[in-house]
Amino acid sequence: MTDFKKIEEKLKTEAKRLLESGEVTVVLCYGKGFDESHPMPYAAKAVADVDNIVFNEYCNYNMARYLVRYPQGTKIAIAVKAADSRAVIVLIQEEKVKRENLVILGIPVQGMKNPKTGEVIDSKTTCGMNNPVLFDILLGEEVHGPKVASPYDVLAEYEKMDKDVRWEFWVKELDKCIRCYACRKACPMCYCDPCFIDQSKPKWADKAPQSAGNMMYHLTRFHHLAGRCIDCGECSRACPVDIPLYLFHKKVAKDCEEMFNQQAGMSMDDKLVLVNFRVEDSDKILE
Amino acid sequence: MLKRIAIEKISQLAAVLMEKGTLLAPVKEVAGHNFVQILDSQKVDLNFYNTLMSPKSAFFPHKEDFVKYKVGKPLAEAEPVLLNCKPAFLFGVRPCDVKSFEIMDIHFNAAGIIDPYWRARREATTIFGYAYDISQPVDSADFYNTLGINAADPEGSDIFMVKKDKELLLKTITPKGEKLLAELSALDKVSTADEKYFEEYIKKGKEYKTRFNCVDSEVVAKKLESIFDNTDFWTKMSAVCLSCGICTFVCPTCYCFDICDDNMFGKGTRSRVWDACMFTDFTLEASGHNPRTQVYQRLRQKVCHKYSYHIRKYGVISCVGCGRCTRQCPVNIDIYSIIEAALKA
């Protein structure tokens, strides 16, 4: 089992060292919230801030979301868990951040929990990985244990649905949407400014939380994330009405893997599937 | 008048109310309970702490159609959407949410222009307040005590309900409630023990404590005014805010809206749709200029509107401490903690 206290201490030590030496100007990590089971994402900018750093099983935030908020060239240290490190890789590949400006603090972890439900976060709603893919400093022991369940197992039921049933499923699920846009805001890959849904010329969908507009927003967002979603599950956890957004993202990720033999953010050497043309690429997408 | 009913028979009461008009009551949905128009009396579920969305949508729906029109046709041919208000019953509203209606009345039913939609719905509705279960622990996000509201505050309800074991005691508070309760045959008579229990419960409700910040509205309003320019403070408070709209949408006292025209194939609808000061395009002007492009400006607006400008303009804080914004925030930003920090800033 992960020793959360030990990781917290190491996180504090590293943050202190990095801020003190001036190596970075901000450490993106986790801080105290209004109570212990509600920690917050945290941007430590001074040595004095280090005391506020925490790490426990509820620190499920993907801090990569905040990288694009800082001007290019800012030296940033970022605490990442497995999926978060994949997000950092994609952001580097998409040239939103430069590798040399980052100090990546990897956190191998098992048993993170959703603060809203108390459920353990596993491969059902995320990629289910335990160890960061990319890091400069590792803040704990890598987790080696029984092989984790495939992140696509949860799709079994979903894939049984035929086209019409699947459409009905999404109509029903997306009708719940209240259009608070927490999903896109929590997503590390959703950094467009402005987002298409905020544009007024042309206006892509109406503002009211109705079926047609909800469909327009979510289906477009789903497809904008094709080959880019790193399956951290932040969108589904942020959703106040529990829409299982992860199902669509996982399905597209699985298709990408089958067609292009590649998962987003698993290697710095990859090129994103949808911006990379190879003659031997699958034509299944055109069928 | 005090009456009682067994909680397991609540669907019978629901059925009677449904015959009389529209019943809005808590229903268990995937992510939590919500006030929903009841079509099946069995669905009413009082086994909840508080609803996910606030009950404001009973009077101020997320989308409200005003006018239907045809593009290019004269104005006279446009048809206003008339409100067909049947008597309505809003069942099981927590005391802090009941209080929110009073605050919202300021905007829709008192100051300046009166909103006919809000007023018509408000007048047609009988409110069944429902005390928090004081035998259960309080949720750590709640802070309604700070705003002078307690867990069993009957004020503002037409009928107030408390739970007694497996029964529900219903007490009339207003003449409207009195009239309705007298007509409800599904209810049983009470004993003197029930009467005593009810009175005791109201008293004990005052001792049931949420988080408490000794907020003098004048002091907090003044403090927030004085730190308006303290960009460092607001940047720190908003450093991780995602600027999504959850907090404003679940809030019982957020009332900002946008007027939208939605037209396709020559047919159009003009409607009012909830908006949120946390959205970038909320303040986007026609010229393209946006006075609030930064997250800190938007969070500052939300906090100061509720805890400063609203006090200056209307004399009351525009918050009831229901804790929904804190509970639902994807990054656990807590407005109570921001006020606490502001007072120390």
Does residue B240 sit at the A interface (CB-CB below 8 Å)? yes
Does residue A203 sit at the B interface (CB-CB below 8 Å)? no
Confidence at A253, pLDDT banded by 50, 70, 90: very high
Let me know how many helices (H) and strands (E) chain A has, helices first: 8, 5
Confidence at A153, pLDDT banded by 50, 70, 90: very high
Q: Which of A187, A26, A198 lies closest to B330, judged by CA?
A: A187
CA A12/CA A137 separation, integer angstroms:
13
Angle at A130 between CA A124 and CA A136, to 5 degrees: 140
Q: What percent of chain A has pLDDT over 90?
A: 82
Asked if B280's CB is within 8 angstroms of A198's CB, the reply is yes
DSSP-assigned letters across all residues of B141-165: T--GGGGT--TT--TT-SEEEEEET
Closest-CA distance, B174 to chain A, in angstroms, reads 34
Whole-angstrom distance between the N-terminal and C-terminal Cα of chain B? 50
Of A66-75, A202-211, B120-129, minimum mean pLDDT range = A202-211
Q: Which of A87, A101, A19 lies closest to A53, judged by CA?
A: A19
Confidence at A90, pLDDT banded by 50, 70, 90: very high
Q: Which of A196, A212, A207 lies closest to B274, judged by CA?
A: A207
Burial of B222 (0-12, 13-18, 19+ CB in 10 A): middle
**Average pLDDT of A41-69?**
96
Q: Is the pLDDT score of A146 beyond 90?
A: no
- Facing residue for A34 by CB, picked from B242, B243, B334: B334
Which pLDDT value is given to residue A11?
Answer: 97
CA B58/CA A13 separation, integer angstroms:
52
Helices (H), chain B: 10-20, 95-109, 116-124, 175-183, 192-205, 217-226, 231-237, 246-250, 295-304, 310-314, 324-328, 335-344
Closest-CA distance, B243 to chain A, in angstroms, reads 7
**Average confidence score pLDDT of chain A:** 93
Amino acid in position B213: N
Asked if A40's CB is within 8 angstroms of B332's CB, the reply is yes
Spatial strand order in the sheet of B2-6: B2-6, B167-172, B159-164, B125-130, B88-93, B22-29, B32-37
Closest-CA distance, A206 to chain B, in angstroms, reads 7
CA B306/CA B321 separation, integer angstroms:
11
Instruction: Write out chain A residues lying below 8 Å of B323, CB-based.
Output: none
3-state secondary structure B279-330: CHHHHCCCCCCCCCCCHHHHHHHHHHHHHHHHHHHHCCCCCCCCCHHHHHCC
What are A94-107's pLDDT values in tens digits? 999 999 999 999 99
Which pLDDT value is given to residue A211?
Answer: 87
CA A128/CA A124 separation, integer angstroms:
7
SS3 A261: coil
Which pLDDT value is given to residue B214?
Answer: 80
What lies within 8 Å, CB to CB, of A7 at 6+ separation is A55, A107, A109, A139, A140
DSSP-assigned letters across all residues of A46-64: SGGGGGGB---TT----GG
- Facing residue for B240 by CB, picked from A42, A200, A241: A42
Which residue reads 């067909």 in tokens?
A: B84
**Average pLDDT of A268-279?**
89
Which pLDDT value is given to residue A149?
Answer: 82
Residue A147 is classified by DSSP as: P
Asked if B31's CB is within 8 angstroms of A179's CB, the reply is no
CA A214/CA A197 separation, integer angstroms:
10
Total residue length of chain B: 345
**Average pLDDT of A255-264?**
92
Residues β-bridged to residue B5? B168
What are A224-240's pLDDT values in tens digits? 999 999 999 999 999 99
| pTM confidence score | 0.94
Which pLDDT value is given to residue B339?
Answer: 95
Closest-CA distance, B258 to chain A, in angstroms, reads 9
Confidence at A282, pLDDT banded by 50, 70, 90: confident
Burial of B39 (0-12, 13-18, 19+ CB in 10 A): exposed
CB interface of A with B, residues 1-30, below 8 Å: none
CA B272/CA B80 separation, integer angstroms:
13
ipTM score here?
Answer: 0.93
CA A50/CA A46 separation, integer angstroms:
7
Instruction: Write out chain B residues lying below 8 Å of A179, CB-based.
Output: 245
Taking only the tens of pLDDT, chain B with its 345 residues reads 999 999 999 999 999 999 999 999 999 999 999 999 999 999 999 999 999 999 999 999 999 999 999 999 998 999 999 888 899 999 999 999 999 999 999 999 987 789 999 999 999 999 999 999 999 999 999 999 999 999 999 999 999 999 999 999 999 999 999 999 999 988 999 999 999 999 999 999 999 999 988 888 999 999 999 999 999 999 999 999 999 999 999 999 999 999 999 888 899 999 999 999 999 999 999 998 999 999 999 999 999 999 999 999 999 999 999 999 999 999 999 999 999 999 998
Asked if A242's CB is within 8 angstroms of B284's CB, the reply is no
Q: Is the pLDDT score of A202 beyond 90?
A: no
Does residue A202 sit at the B interface (CB-CB below 8 Å)? no
What sign does the dihedral B132-B135-B140-B144 (CA atoms) show? positive
Distance, C-alpha B274 to centroid of its chain: 14
SS3 A238: helix
Instruction: For A137, list phi and psi in degrees, rounded to 5.
Output: -130, 130
Burial of B209 (0-12, 13-18, 19+ CB in 10 A): exposed
CA A58/CA A111 separation, integer angstroms:
9
Q: Is the pLDDT score of A280 beyond 90?
A: no
Q: What percent of chain A has pLDDT over 70?
A: 100
Asked if B245's CB is within 8 angstroms of A181's CB, the reply is yes
Torsion of CA A252, A257, A260, A262, to 10 degrees: 120
CA A92/CA A85 separation, integer angstroms:
11
CA B54/CA B100 separation, integer angstroms:
9
Asked if B62's CB is within 8 angstroms of A207's CB, the reply is no
Confidence at A286, pLDDT banded by 50, 70, 90: confident
Residues β-bridged to residue B93? B129
- How many CA atoms are closer than 13 Å to the CA of B161, on its beta-carbon side? 24
Which pLDDT value is given to residue B215?
Answer: 81
Which pLDDT value is given to residue B186?
Answer: 84
Q: Is the pLDDT score of A148 beyond 80?
A: no
CA A120/CA B254 separation, integer angstroms:
34
Structural contact between residues A227 and A273, judged by C-beta atoms closer than 8 angstroms: yes
